[in-house]
């Protein structure tokens, strides 16, 4: 395999993102995350280190629906899901319904590296975190005034409207063509306690295979899970479609068949970029060499020199 130009591509979630000031913060957040991931790669980190670092930065930024800033369950609690996958050997780890963990993506990585399992849930996942030296936060530490307000509003109108903000995710490729993907979420607005999302499901929220490509998705989780959106995109590329074709086509088909919206970011094994969403907006950014590309609206792409 000839050398590949490294890329770190991130998304900050598909949604309506109707508030102008919020959109600005979201765009700044994805740009920072893509740059962070690229820096990690450039300073000798692995591609999995890079996607993890990019996602952690967004988990720590309360403008995003992941980590602090996650949407609340109907009971007013934060319950998060995350998954991470390495394309060279298909190793993967995930967590679901975890509470009081600052960086669920780091815990998913520990599941991948320190257990013989793929997915740990709830209390067991938290106990594993403690065993691994991860100190849980005080209950409520991940709740923000904005998410409390969002829950109150959701209850008043009793749901229905598409989410304002989605999941966060990152995909990366290094110069040797090694791929990784990582996705983390607080889930959907108005979700029941104990609900698991597509984000913790390999093939739905996250997938990476060095022979084909890497994908991270966002949007209506139940539909993404039924459609196995990440793997559908991988299959499309396996059948000869470009990363962008496969991404846009699968999102269109999923949206038509299941009548719900989604978004995804994709890298092919040669480092081609795919970006698609059927929501109004989806923030994304990627760094390749010294260029940082980013956008939030359909058919929009801006570029900074970095
Ligand atoms: N896919 C996430 C979920 O259903 C939410 C999102 O990305 O908007 O929990």
Ligand 1 atom at minimal distance to the Cα of residue 186? 9
Rounded to whole angstroms, what are the CA distances from 212 to 16, 182, 227, 237, 277? 31, 16, 19, 7, 21
Q: Is residue 18 a contact partner of residue 24, using CB atoms and an 8 Å limit?
A: no
Q: What is the pLDDT of residue 161?
A: 64
Q: How far apart are CA 174 and CA 78, in angstroms?
A: 34
Q: Is residue 1 a contact partner of residue 177, using CB atoms and an 8 Å limit?
A: yes
φ, ψ of residue 10 to 5 degrees: the values are -130, 160
- Supply the residue whose CA is at minimum distance from atom 8 of ligand 1: 166
- Say how many CA atoms lie within 13 Å of 173 toward its Cβ: 28
Q: Is residue 59 a contact partner of residue 30, using CB atoms and an 8 Å limit?
A: no
Gap from CA of 101 to ligand 1 centroid (Å): 18
Q: Which two tokens stand for residue 305?
A: 């020199």
- Supply the residue whose CA is at minimum distance from atom 1 of ligand 1: 221
Residues composing the chain: 306
Of 246, 291, 300, 253, give the one whose Cα is nearest residue 273: 246
Q: What is the pLDDT of residue 16?
A: 87
In this structure, the residues whose C-beta lies within 6 A of any atom of ligand 1 are 13, 163, 166-167, 185, 187-188, 197-199, 218-219, 221, 224
DSSP codes of every residue in 47-67: HHHHHHHHHHHHHTSTTSSSS
Angle at which helices 47-59 and 20-42 cross, to 10°: 150
167 is catalytic: yes
The residue annotated as part of the active site, out of 73, 167, 261, 266, is 167
Binding site residues for substrate, as ranges?
195-198, 218-221
Residue 78 Ramachandran class (φ > 0 left, ψ -120 to 50 alpha, else beta): beta
Q: What is the pLDDT of residue 162?
A: 66
Gap from CA of 199 to ligand 1 centroid (Å): 7
* Per-position pLDDT tens, the chain of length 306: 669 999 999 999 999 888 889 999 999 999 999 999 999 999 999 999 999 999 999 999 999 999 999 999 999 999 999 999 999 999 999 999 999 999 999 999 999 999 999 999 999 999 999 999 999 999 999 999 999 999 999 888 876 666 777 899 999 999 999 999 999 999 999 999 999 999 999 999 999 999 999 999 999 999 999 999 999 999 999 999 999 999 999 999 999 999 999 999 999 999 999 999 999 999 999 999 999 999 999 999 999 999
Q: How far apart are CA 238 and CA 94, in angstroms?
A: 25
The third-level CATH classification (topology) of the domain covering 7-305 is 3.60.20
Gap from CA of 118 to ligand 1 centroid (Å): 20
Element (H, E) at 108: helix 104-114
Gap from CA of 249 to ligand 1 centroid (Å): 20
Of 53, 196, 211, give the one whose Cα is nearest residue 122: 196
Ligand 1 atom at minimal distance to the Cα of residue 222? 4
């Amino acid at each position: 395999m000839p050398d590949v130009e490294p890329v770190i591509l991130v998304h900050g979630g598909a949604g309506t993102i109707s508030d102008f000031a919020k959109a600005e913060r979201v765009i700044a957040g994805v740009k920072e995350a893509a740059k962070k991931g690229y820096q990690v790669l450039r300073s000798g980190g692995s591609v999995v280190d890079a996607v993890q670092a990019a996602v952690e930065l967004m988990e720590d930024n309360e403008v995003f629906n992941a980590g602090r800033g996650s949407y609340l369950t109907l009971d007013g609690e934060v319950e998060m899901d995350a998954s991470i996958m390495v394309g060279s050997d298909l190793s993967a780890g995930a967590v679901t319904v975890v509470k009081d963990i600052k960086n669920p993506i780091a815990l998913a990585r520990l599941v991948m590296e320190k257990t013989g399992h793929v997915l740990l849930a709830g209390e067991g996942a938290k106990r594993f975190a403690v065993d691994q030296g991860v100190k849980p936060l005080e209950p409520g530490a991940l709740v923000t005034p904005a998410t409390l307000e969002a829950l109150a509003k959701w209850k008043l109108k009793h749901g229905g409207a598409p989410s304002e903000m989605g999941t966060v995710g990152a995909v990366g490729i290094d110069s040797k063509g090694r791929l990784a993907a990582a996705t983390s979420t607080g889930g959907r607005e108005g979700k029941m306690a104990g609900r698991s999302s597509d984000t913790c499901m390999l093939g739905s929220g996250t997938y990476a295979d060095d022979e084909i490509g890497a994908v991270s998705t966002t949007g209506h989780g139940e539909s993404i899970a039924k459609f196995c959106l990440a793997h559908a995109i991988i299959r499309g590329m396996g059948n000869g479609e470009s990363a962008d074709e496969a991404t846009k086509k699968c999102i269109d088909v999923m949206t038509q068949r299941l009548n719900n919206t989604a978004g995804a970011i994709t890298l092919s094994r040669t480092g081609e970029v795919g970006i698609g969403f059927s929501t109004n907006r989806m923030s994304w950014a990627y760094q390749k060499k010294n260029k940082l590309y980013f956008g939030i609206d359909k058919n929009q792409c801006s570029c900074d020199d970095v």
